[in-house]
Chains A and B, each alone.
Chain A
Amino acid sequence: MTVVETGVDMRTALGAVEIPGPVLTASGCSAFGQELEPFVDLTALGAVVTKSVQLRPRSGRPTPRMAETPSGMLNSIGLQGPGIDGLLAEDLPWLAERGARAFVSIAGTRVEDFAELAERLRGVPGVLGLEVNISCPNVESRGEVFACDPVAASDVLSAVRAAADPAQPVYAKLSPDVTDIVSVARAVRDAGADGLSMINTLLGLVIDPDTMRPVLGGVTGGLSGPAIRPVALRCVWQVHAAMPEVPILGMGGIRNGLDALQFVLAGASAVSVGTAVFNDPSAPVRIHDELAAVLAARGFASLSDAVGHAHRPAGVER
């Protein structure tokens, strides 16, 4: 569709699996895709990245769970979800029936949890791959997430890669709340991750000036939206510069095609659209079309030609 309109080849891949377009939803921002059906053609997306699933159903945290912040928001949901049994029984079949690709985000509190989830998702129809959420700030240990420790992060990724369907690429979702994201990226790559999702939310806090107490029931929460875009872009840039061969799914405050272009130029071969969906439920498809148009306007014949372009010396053109 877009190929015809702009002439830009928008095909890309997650690991070794080709996808027709580079724009995906972001985990935790589009539930399991069903609510977006009135607004977007789910099959036209690169994939639906599902809300992180754990082994058991989770209630999530008490309310309030959300606070609006400048060009962003703070959330403290606590991974409310149906658990893997509910996902396998209802949500994944619903996506598969429509021909939508699912990139399933998995989360857990122990290495074995992640491995068991990967095992349960082997060969499931419509499951394109796994995004391993080792970086959600809204878990019991708060800041002490797997992704803050290269050893813990690589333990999870090696267990998941060993347990997962070999045909399913495994991406590690990294936290920006670290001193050196390149070292974490290198550790999970060496542990077998096929790609990297960057970034998860940043841990933040909002205090209500009237009650003079934290707004969120969970006290702290994850900051998302355009406010974090420069941080996300910096992370993608640093990791792509260090490991240009590792595929990156870029995310963090992408709201339009020019935002997505920045991530591609920094080294992302695909992007996720998260908080922008709350503002505009048709954002993933709109951003795909806008990205195709801005690539065409800059003379790129294909998305892949633009990946990492910003790292090339000025004057070195296509």
Chain B
Amino acid sequence: MTGRNGHAGHVTEPAPKPAHPPVQREVEVVGRRPVNAYVELSLAAPEIAERAEPGQFLAFAIGGETSALLLRRSIAIAGAGDGVVSVVVAPHGPGSTWLAGLRVGERVDVVGPLGRPFPAAPAGARALLVGGGYGAAALVGLAARLRSQGHEVAAVAGAASADRLCSVAELSALAAPVEVTTDDGSAGRTGRVTVAVDELLTGVGVVYACGPMAMLRAVADAATALGIPSYVAVEESMACGIGVCMTCVLPVVGEDGRTRFSRSCVEGPVFGGDRVRFDDVGKLPHDVVGADAMGVVAP
């Protein structure tokens, strides 16, 4: 596959920087709604809502100013409008469980909107949106924007099981067709999202995806193999969300064809799907800028 080693042939441009800087605010929870295995929180945050673009995320402080959990939790924005911004929280560890337990009227410290939004679709292009688990929530605002710009939008929502699906109703109001897949067959078609993606790619001009890394890789590879640009929003764990901690890096090929450890929070979370070196996540390849100074040399 060209491009993976920095050769020409990338079909994506790096996602553009956001139009507005983030703000830090203590905001009130104004809505809480269980959604299958998840919890959707709505926050009264007008300055964030008016700045937010699809693909961006919020970084939450956990547990108040004396909390022993210091690291921010970064969660994709699921909706923004009328002074309210919403996220879908998947409770798994102590931090996300605390967030999911917030009640209406309680307050939480949030920074956002953060990260680079999904870039615009090519003029007239039919778009395919692919969401894995709660990652589908990050695509609802994008689907609305694409429709308002006159694009045809199709979507695939996949999950391990029916209770891990998310935002299917919201996407169904904006996209057609909307295919559902589950690994265990408890809803929609049995299998991974790729069983539907492979069928829907024909005639598509751009693919957008949000979800677990393995899903993003499969979707990006399928699109790239057909020469279709894809943009993936990654869910790397971050300590700060604002670009200072350097923990959320991925090996990403830049415009100059060189691979760098790029921060998912400020260079992402949206990357060109053909620019993320999925094979090399968790490794230090010799051709990453600065690997030589780490003592890693070409074989």
Contacts and interface: CB of A to CB of B under 8 A. Distances in A.
Contacts of B294: 58-61, 78, 140
A75 interface: yes
B239 to A, nearest CB: 5
Interface stretch (A32-40, A169-177, A264-272): A32-40
A58 B281 contact: no
A59 B71 contact: no
Contacts of B284: 59, 61-62
Interface string B104-119: 0000010100000000
A75 B295 contact: no
Nearest to B69: A68
B260 to A, nearest CB: 8
B245 interface: yes
Interface in A215-265: 217, 225-226, 255-256
A38 B243 CA distance: 12
B70 A35 contact: no
A279 B21 contact: no
Interface residues of A, number: 47
B224 to A, nearest CB: 23
A304 interface: no
Interface string A266-307: 000000000111111110000000000000000000000000
Contact of A62 (B23, B72, B237, B282): B282
Interface stretch (B32-40, B203-211, B285-293): B285-293
B61 interface: yes
B261 A279 contact: no
Contacts of B283: 62
Nearest to A59: B290
A70 B23 CA distance: 27
A80 interface: yes
Contact of A54 (B244, B291, B293): B293
A124 interface: no
B297 interface: no
Contacts of B191: none
B281 A256 contact: no
Contact of A281 (B24, B95, B261, B282): B24
Contacts of B288: 59
Given A35-B266, A59-B261, A80 B249 contact: yes
A61 B251 CA distance: 11
Nearest to B249: A63
A279 B62 CA distance: 8
Among A59, A68, A75, A83: residue with most chain B CB under 10 A: A59
B70 A281 contact: no
B169 interface: no
A158 to B, nearest CB: 25
B19 interface: no
B240 A225 contact: no
Contacts of A150: none
A279 B243 CA distance: 13
B22 interface: yes
Contacts of A60: 246, 249, 261, 290, 294
B244 A77 contact: no
Interface in A40-90: 51, 54, 56-66, 68, 70-73, 75, 77-78, 80-81, 83
Contacts of B244: 29-31, 35-36, 277-278, 281
Given A56-B292, A80-B290, A276-B70, A65 B23 contact: no
Contacts of A279: 61, 70-72
A58 B289 CA distance: 7
A73 B240 contact: no
Nearest to B70: A279
B1 interface: no
Contact of A71 (B65, B68, B237): B68
Contact of A63 (B23, B24, B281): B281
A68 B62 CA distance: 12
B52 interface: no
Given A62-B282, A66-B245, A73 B71 contact: yes
Nearest to A60: B261
A281 B293 contact: no
A59 B21 contact: no
B194 interface: no
B247 interface: yes
A140 to B, nearest CB: 6
B48 interface: no
B242 interface: yes
Contact of A77 (B68, B240, B246): B246
Contacts of B296: 59
A28 B247 CA distance: 11
A301 to B, nearest CB: 28
A277 B242 CA distance: 10
Interface of B: 21-24, 61, 65, 68-72, 95, 109, 111, 236-237, 239-240, 242-250, 260-261, 266, 281-284, 288-296
Interface of A: 28-31, 35-39, 51, 54, 56-66, 68, 70-73, 75, 77-78, 80-81, 83, 140, 217, 225-226, 255-256, 275-282
Given A51-B246, A66-B247, 15 more contacts: A37-B21, A38-B21, A58-B293, A59-B296, A61-B284, A66-B71, A66-B239, A68-B71, A73-B70, A75-B239, A78-B294, A80-B290, A217-B282, A281-B24, A281-B111
27 contacts: A29-B245, A31-B244, A35-B242, A37-B21, A38-B22, A39-B111, A39-B242, A54-B293, A56-B290, A57-B289, A57-B293, A59-B261, A60-B290, A62-B282, A62-B284, A63-B236, A64-B282, A66-B239, A68-B239, A70-B68, A75-B239, A77-B245, A256-B65, A277-B240, A278-B70, A279-B70, A281-B240
